[in-house]
Chain A
Amino acid sequence: MSTDAGSLAAESAGMESPDAGSADTESLAAGSPGAGSLAERQEALVRALVAGGPLPEGFDGARVGAAGRALRNKRFGEVTGTWPQLLPYGELFRAWARDRPPQGSWRDGWDFARAHRCSLDAEALTALAVCEARWRYGDEPRLRRGPVVRRVPGGAVLGFWSRVVVFRPRR
């Protein structure tokens, strides 16, 4: 109930937007529906849909909320295409994605998995470890060059020069 039931207006009501009080927000709030340039209006709508921003003046909150949910559903479908191990975490993902603009399914899945290490099962943790044995996390991930070892439930992941092997002694 808590994640997808409310309208976007209700969802954002309790959130302090980092933009609250900025010139954009003030001009939108003060003016009639449509105040602000096309660029400002489009940015405010996108912020509401993918970055946890407030519903821009004049929009139908229920309809924009439904569009936001559809966006997050589509995004989760794309993420699980790249990270099938995240399939059990739809509800968590949609809640997490609410205020994080999409960065592509590979990066979205990676960021989500890093932020939810404590909640993931062995399969998802292993996928994360395999990814991180190959790639160094950062704004622009780079292939690792040296050897790396990551513990995962029931085994370990070994990476060397971007080749990765999963060891699971008991399986």
Chain B
Amino acid sequence: MSGPGVGIGWRPALARFVEELPGLVDSGFSEVIAESLHHPHPALLELRDRGARIVPHGVRLSLGGADPVEPERVAHLAGCAELLGAPLVSEHVAFVRAGGMEVGHLLPVPRTREALDALVRNVRLTTAELGVPLAVEPIAAFFDWPEDEYAEGDFLTELLDRTGALLLLDVANVYANARNRGQDPLKVLESFPLDRIAYCHVAGGSEHDGYYHDTHTHALRQEVLALVTEAEARSTAEARLGYLLERDGRYPPAAELRAELDAIADAAGLARVT
């Protein structure tokens, strides 16, 4: 049960697929959208009862918002961790609402001192209520803020240093952002606090409208798998969970998904779960 492995994000449409992965419970792990746990799916609880490591992954806490995080949302995350016996909880370095309006998606925060202070406050408000560690995930974004004062890696490092939070590194987001900003993905990866990795996301995407979109509905790219290899070679955190495939629609045949999980395992040099 210890040491990094390979996993896949649990979705109702993938319940059967995940249930039938032979190595998921022993060497792998899973993750579930925390906001979907108000009415937990029986198959997910069954997976928990078989001893699977399952991370609640929040998408609507708005840690990067100017306003303090809402206590009910924090309490829900804490409840999810308890329900699943989770080793940790994860959320995003992002905001999802402002001025009473919901965005319905994750937006990047300005990398300024003021935004960093707001993030630090919100991460602290959250971790104070959690019984387990919190990992935060940098997002994919098409644009940056004009007032940015920090490079992304420095901003993250300071956030983690000030809060003690861990890093959920989305390798596909690193690829997407670097590509859309015309940067070298490997250099961006190396600028992140890789010693703080709790686990990594991997996902497919596609080119559209002049940008690379981190869609979670397309096949994995070789370039992203190559970045998995580079990330694993540079990861030093002892208690990492490993690499988790995110798939959120246009589900391919099971054999294709298994092949993607194997490709991730091979790229990272970890045991296959299929």
Residues in A with CB closer than 8 Å to B143 are 59-60, 63-64, 66-67
Residues in A with CB closer than 8 Å to B144 are 60
Q: In the assembly, what is the distance between CA of A59 and CA of B145, in Å?
A: 6
Q: Which of B216-264 contact A (CB under 8 A)?
A: 249
Residues in A with CB closer than 8 Å to B133 are none
Any B CB within 8 A of the CB of A42: yes
- Tell me if B99 and A46 are in contact (CB < 8 A): yes
Q: Which residue of A lies closest to B208 (CB)?
A: A70
Min Cβ gap A153→B in Å is 31
CB within 8 Å for A39 and B67 given contacts A34-B147, A45-B98: yes
Q: Which residue of A lies closest to B214 (CB)?
A: A70
Candidates B103, B109, B211; contact of A50 at CB < 8 Å: B103
Any B CB within 8 A of the CB of A158: no
- Tell me if B211 and A66 are in contact (CB < 8 A): yes
Residues in B with CB closer than 8 Å to A71 are 103-105
Min Cβ gap B88→A in Å is 27
Q: How many residues of A contact B (CB 8 A)?
A: 32
**Among A33, A64, A101, which residue has the most Cβ atoms of chain B within 10 A?**
A101
Residues in A with CB closer than 8 Å to B249 are 77
Min Cβ gap B206→A in Å is 12
Min Cβ gap A65→B in Å is 9
Q: Which of B134-161 contact A (CB under 8 A)?
A: 141-147
Interface 9-residue window, one of B18-26, B111-119, B166-174: B111-119
Residues in B with CB closer than 8 Å to A69 are 209
Any A CB within 8 A of the CB of B53: no
Any B CB within 8 A of the CB of A102: yes
Residues in A with CB closer than 8 Å to B67 are 39
Candidates B97, B105, B110, B146; contact of A38 at CB < 8 Å: B110
- Tell me if B104 and A75 are in contact (CB < 8 A): yes
How would residues 68 to 100 of chain B score, 1 for a CB under 8 Å from any chain A CB and 0 otherwise?
Answer: 000000000000000000000000000101110
CB within 8 Å for A70 and B142 given contacts A42-B65, A47-B99: yes
Residues in A with CB closer than 8 Å to B109 are 42
**Among A67, A74, A77, which residue has the most Cβ atoms of chain B within 10 A?**
A67
Any B CB within 8 A of the CB of A114: no
Q: In the assembly, what is the distance between CA of A63 and CA of B105, in Å?
A: 16
Residues in B with CB closer than 8 Å to A51 are 101
Q: In the assembly, what is the distance between CA of A31 and CA of B10, in Å?
A: 46
Q: Which of A64-117 contact B (CB under 8 A)?
A: 64, 66-67, 69-71, 74-75, 77-78, 101-103
CB within 8 Å for A38 and B118 given contacts A46-B97, A50-B104: yes
Residues in A with CB closer than 8 Å to B115 are 38
Residues in B with CB closer than 8 Å to A70 are 105, 142, 209, 213
Any B CB within 8 A of the CB of A130: no
Q: In the assembly, what is the distance between CA of A60 and CA of B146, in Å?
A: 8
Any B CB within 8 A of the CB of A49: yes
- Tell me if B110 and A43 are in contact (CB < 8 A): no
Candidates A37, A43, A59, A74; contact of B105 at CB < 8 Å: A74
Q: Could you list some 18 contacts between A and B, CB below 8 A?
A: A33-B147, A34-B146, A38-B110, A38-B118, A39-B98, A39-B99, A42-B107, A43-B99, A58-B146, A58-B147, A63-B143, A64-B142, A67-B142, A69-B209, A70-B209, A78-B104, A101-B102, A102-B103
User: A34-B110, A46-B97, A70-B142 given. 9 additional CB < 8 A pairs?
Assistant: A38-B110, A38-B115, A39-B99, A46-B98, A49-B107, A58-B147, A74-B104, A101-B103, A102-B102
A positions within 8 Å CB-CB of B:
33-34, 37-39, 41-43, 45-47, 49-51, 57-60, 63-64, 66-67, 69-71, 74-75, 77-78, 101-103
